Structure 1
Amino acid sequence: MYSLGIFALSSFPLDTIDFYVAVLLISCFVLMGFGNVLNVPLMGRSQGFMTTRSSRRIKQVRLEMGRLIPSLDLPSRLGMFFLYFPSVLLGLHFLSENSTSPNPHLTSLLILIHFGKRSLECLFLHRYSGNMPLTSSLTISVAYTGFSWMTIYYSSKISPSSMPLSNGIDDVLSTMFLAWGSFYLRWDSAGIYTIITAFVVFVNQVPSGGLFHLIAAPHYLFEFISWLGVALCTQHVYSLVLFFGMCAYLIERAKAQDEWNSEKLKEKYPSPRKRIIPFVW
């Protein structure tokens, strides 16, 4: 994975300082993601490098923040919609701006498609119950919006003449296809796989439809394929680092999902089913 990151970086225009920063960030992302996959104790785990004293201090800070910030909840559908919709508005904003290069507009279109699809799924496809903490919704929303803004911003720093991989059009079309392919998977499963937890617990059945007969988390597979399309279109080192970070995070989440399914469904869950990459892992 590390070697793949270095090889990919060589195809993206960047300054020397960007190269070293990117290598550092990719290394951190890979260590965080694959450390969980390999059950390597990382910072933040109780059996890891964090001392008991520092762990108590973090808990104390969280309690203090809880006293300062009121515990407000949103309906889950509204909270999830709020995660993605600001990025939709951001994509629309940058699409409406004039630019000497087509690259920011192409990247804005990808951001708009990606988060627009998520927003529509929240409104019309997913099934929700309960509430979501307002602080969680705000934190994740700010993170997604920040990622989107930086992706579009850095895409404007790359001139079309310096883009070695493609002109971006093929990447847009491919990502649009993959995005709506992901939407089909969700619809094909009657929206149930987006709430696999409720499906497994209350229906006690193995998730099926789409690619579920091959992997435990097809939604995560299409997620990082979509971010690969964004990286290929943008062709800036920031987008590449973001893609590797998403890969590390989603691989860890797929592992957790597979283990959770196996624990809840026991012998019903098919052991040959992979986690996120069909026939591989």
Structure 2
Amino acid sequence: MAPPITLKVSSRIPKKPIKKLPTSVEVTDKTTVQDVKENLAKRAGGWDPNRFGLYEPEKRKLLKDRRALISQLESIVSGKEILVKDLGPQLSWTTVFLIEYSGPLFIHLLFPFVLRPYLYNLSLPYLPFSKSLPPLTTSQLLASAMIVLHFAKREYETLFIHRFSLATMPMFNIFKNSAHYWILSGVWMAYWIYGPTSPTALETPLTRNLDIVGLVLYLFGEISNFHTHVTLSKLRSPGGTERGIPKGYGFGLVTCPNYMFEMISWVGVLLVTRSGVAMLPFIVTAFVQMYFWAVKKEKALRAEFPKEYRRKRYAILPGIM
């Protein structure tokens, strides 16, 4: 076992120093990034270790792998210094996802089955249950079921499938993240789908055929997306942060087939709702965000596995982008 070394501890933002932050920390060849966080947090007066972001001194890059050995991080060992930043109050990724997905899940139950008479009965607002409001159509009921099941599936995956490399995220980010789901895929989408004048309220032989096609696409996308998430989860041990090269169903076509299959699923919902006003703001926003995530993932895989990884030409949609 190599003798311990002492690292200088500096604030990454000198103008915002962390109170009681130790000026040095001793590490061995078995000390991990998480060990340093816990050491500093304890000595600083009982901080949450996850509030501390550790950065290497040269490129000032965040050390994301909490299980990485400090002794193997050349820039830190050679410079004998580590930078620390207060990332603010933290929430676990599991908690974040559960909160994000719960919004649209409950909204698409409340709007059609509880709030609908109050929201759309404009002719007799003082009689919310007036007979003037037509019942939900098959398409509206189907759309509600599809959206609720989609987010219920996400909640299940959060609890039992996903394995996160980062333990937490800044607590205040949850408001920004939740707005996307609660507003765009929740309130906005629900209001336009379940109204009596919505395209989803029309029932014709054509709409019934679109319902069938949409449901088939939705089921294919959801099942394939779930399969992809299971494949990704197997790349990492429980509680681990290691990365692997994803292979198998869908990965030969694009970098992130889970995003591709999710878009197919939402196209299925679009066919059932037949409402661009309701669906496109969420679909376009989600697609743009997932595309940037996929490109970032492709770059990360190429950098980490330059020889082993088979480069993908397309990040999210084969033949397109």
TM-score (norm 1): 0.63
Change (3 A) 1:100 1:88: closer
Instruction: Give 1:251-270 correspondences, 5 Å limit.
Output: 251-270=291-310
Amino acid at match of 1:206: I
Amino acid at match of 1:254: A
Residue in structure 2 matched with residue 143 of structure 1 by the alignment: 180
Instruction: Give 1:235-246 correspondences, 5 Å limit.
Output: 235-238=274-277, 239-246=279-286
Residue in structure 2 matched with residue 38 of structure 1 by the alignment: none
Kindly indicate which of the two structures has a greater share of residues assigned to helix: 1
Question: Residues 87 and 145 of structure 1 are in contact (CA less than 8 Å); yes or no, is this contact kept in structure 2?
Answer: yes
TM-score (norm 2): 0.56
Residue in structure 1 matched with residue 171 of structure 2 by the alignment: 134
- Correspondence for 1:210 among 242, 249, 272: 249
Structure 1 runs not aligned, ≥5 long = 1-69
Q: How many angstroms apart in 1 are the aligned matches of 2:108 and 2:136?
A: 17
Change (3 A) 1:81 1:207: same
Alignment deviations for residues 117-161 of structure 1 (CA, whole Å, 9 cap, x no partner): 111000011113421222212321132011122212212322314
Q: Does 1:90 align with 2:126?
A: no
Instruction: Give 1:197-236 correspondences, 5 Å limit.
Output: 198-200=241-243, 205-236=244-275
- State the secondary structure of the residue aligned to 1:74: strand
Structure 2 runs not aligned, ≥5 long = 1-86, 117-134
Q: Does 1:177 align with 2:250?
A: no
Q: How many angstroms apart in 2 are the aligned matches of 1:75 and 1:247?
A: 25
Residue in structure 1 matched with residue 161 of structure 2 by the alignment: 125
Amino acid at match of 2:250: L
Q: How many angstroms apart in 1 are the aligned matches of 2:316 and 2:109?
A: 32
How far the C-alpha of 1:112 sits from its partner, in A, is: 0.8
Amino acid at match of 2:225: S
How far the C-alpha of 1:188 sits from its partner, in A, is: 3.5
Kindly indicate which of the two structures has a greater share of residues assigned to strand: 2
Q: Does 1:81 align with 2:81?
A: no
Instruction: Give 1:2-17 correspondences, 5 Å limit.
Output: none
Question: Residues 227 and 243 of structure 1 are in contact (CA less than 8 Å); yes or no, is this contact kept in structure 2?
Answer: yes
State which structure, 1 or 2, has the greater radius of gyration over its C-alpha atoms.
2
Change (3 A) 1:94 1:79: same
Question: Residues 217 and 276 of structure 1 are in contact (CA less than 8 Å); yes or no, is this contact kept in structure 2?
Answer: yes
Change (3 A) 1:183 1:138: same
- State the secondary structure of the residue aligned to 1:109: helix
Question: Residues 256 and 315 of structure 2 are in contact (CA less than 8 Å); yes or no, is this contact kept in structure 1?
Answer: yes
- Correspondence for 1:160 among 180, 193, 202: 202
Residue in structure 1 matched with residue 44 of structure 2 by the alignment: none
Q: How many angstroms apart in 2 are the aligned matches of 1:173 and 1:121?
A: 22
